[in-house]
């Protein structure tokens, strides 16, 4: 059953998320269709190399995307978790990225696919890729659900992109503001008065 069918979404609560969302940027239906197309491209790219693939989701923003994506990938894989903090806290402007929890798997000679929610300035993924390359994987590719086209650095490319979006602060489908809204099923633009 999709989130649209959750009866809890139709009841009223004291702290509904809905009132904080200015507009829906990408609906859950669009996300679901795009995630399955992304999985097809990933499957085609890896082909026989999918054996021994290690997926490295960057926590916590990628959890919901990861859960949907890997269930569309029909081959065996391992999942190694990494947590990175980008010091956003109560502000939406990016700070320095810092590794909070390191990978718990050996990736030497393995093909690695990093999965993250969004490519903004690229500081998070640069840090992650730098850390992973030191462990001599066979390859490192990157899959992001969203990319802020105008801000993403030109010298840093990713292999799979769900959607290119405008430069707005978005929440939902795993993306947070101050650790809230990750469970909003669509991707929405947060009302600017909440963080300005
Ligand atoms: P970067 O390091 O500047 O590329 O930012 C990447 C990280 O910042 C992402 O993994 C997100 O956790 C967070 N981030 C960037 N833009 C947004 C946004 O619009 N909404 C929520 N989180 C964001
Ligand atoms: Mg993140």
What pLDDT digit, counting tens, does each position of 89-141 carry?
555 666 688 888 889 899 999 999 999 999 999 999 999 999 999 999 999 99
Spelled out in words, what is the top-level CATH class assigned to the domain 27-167? alpha beta
Q: How many angstroms is it from 118 CA to the middle of ligand 1?
A: 6
What pLDDT digit, counting tens, does each position of 49-73 carry?
778 899 999 999 999 999 999 999 9
pTM listed for this prediction: 0.91
The residue-averaged pLDDT of 27-36 equals 97
The residue-averaged pLDDT of 28-51 equals 93
Q: How many angstroms is it from 11 CA to the middle of ligand 1?
A: 31
116 among known catalytic residues = no
> Exposed, middle or buried, 144 (CB in 10 Å: 0-12/13-18/19+)?
buried
Domain boundaries along the sequence of the chain = 27-167
Quick one: which atom of ligand 1 is closest to the CA of 177? 21
Q: Can you give the pLDDT at residue 2?
A: 44
Rounded Cα distance, 37 and 28, in Å: 14
Atom 17 of ligand 1: nearest residue by CA position: 169
Q: Is the CB of 175 under 6 A from ligand 1?
A: yes
Is the pLDDT confidence value at 88 over 70? no
């Amino acid at each position: 059953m999709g989130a649209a069918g959750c009866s809890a979404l139709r009841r009223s609560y004291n702290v509904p998320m809905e009132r904080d969302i200015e507009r829906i940027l990408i609906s859950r239906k669009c996300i679901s269709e795009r995630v399955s197309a992304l999985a097809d491209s990933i499957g085609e790219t890896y082909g026989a190399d999918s054996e021994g693939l290690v997926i490295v989701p960057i926590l916590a923003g990628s959890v919901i995307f990861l859960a949907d994506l890997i269930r569309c990938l029909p081959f065996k894989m391992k999942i190694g978790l990494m947590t990175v903090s980008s010091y956003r806290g109560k502000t939406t402007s990016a700070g320095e990225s810092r590794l909070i929890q390191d990978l718990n798997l050996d990736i030497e000679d393995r093909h690695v696919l990093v999965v993250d929610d969004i490519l903004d300035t690229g500081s998070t993924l640069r840090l992650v890729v730098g850390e992973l390359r030191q462990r001599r994987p066979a390859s490192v590719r990157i899959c992001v659900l969203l990319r802020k086209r105008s801000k993403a650095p030109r010298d840093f490319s990713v292999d799979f992109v769900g959607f290119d979006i405008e430069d707005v602060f978005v929440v939902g489908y795993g993306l947070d503001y101050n650790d809230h809204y990750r469970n909003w099923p669509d991707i929405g633009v947060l009302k600017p008065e909440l963080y300005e």
